[in-house]
Amino acid sequence: MAIDLKKKKGRPAKKKNNDFATPEDLFAAKNELIADLEARLDSAYKDQEQMLSELDRNINMMKYHCQQVEVNTGEITQEDIAYCTNLMNRIMKHKFEYKPKSFEE
């Protein structure tokens, strides 16, 4: 069995990059970043409007439900209110909570 006595090389030398970004490239990158942030902000406003309208709808349904319970039973208990608030919480989470993308899509 022979032993290799040659010195092994270390990591390869770094490549020098003399290409600096031009002011035009920086300006274009800044404009692209601003456009992306404006699009994301617009999307966030639309999501907020949708969430607020859904919240109003659920509050009105909760009021109606409590009125119907009172008409049919003559009283509203803490359990009735707890049911309504828990239901509204579950509906809002289902519609607006983050859902990771599945691998099947």
Q: Give domain status of residue 33, yes or no.
A: no
Q: The tokens of 61 are what?
A: 């349904």
DSSP 1: -
pTM: 0.61
Give CA–CA dist 55/49, Å, rounded: 10
Q: Give domain status of residue 85, yes or no.
A: yes
On the question of pLDDT at 3 being above 80, the answer is no
Mean pLDDT to the nearest integer, 39-43: 95
Mean pLDDT to the nearest integer, 46-70: 94
Q: The tokens of 50 are what?
A: 């949708």
Q: Are 80 and 69 in contact (CB under 8 A)?
A: yes
Q: Give domain status of residue 79, yes or no.
A: yes
* pLDDT value, residue 80: 92
Mean pLDDT to the nearest integer, 32-52: 95
* pLDDT value, residue 1: 54
Count of beta carbons in the 10 Å neighbourhood of residue 5: 5
Q: How many domains does the chain have?
A: 1
Of the two residues 13 and 45, the one the predictor is more confident about is 45
Structural domain including 75 reads 39-96
On the question of pLDDT at 46 being above 80, the answer is yes
Q: Give domain status of residue 47, yes or no.
A: yes
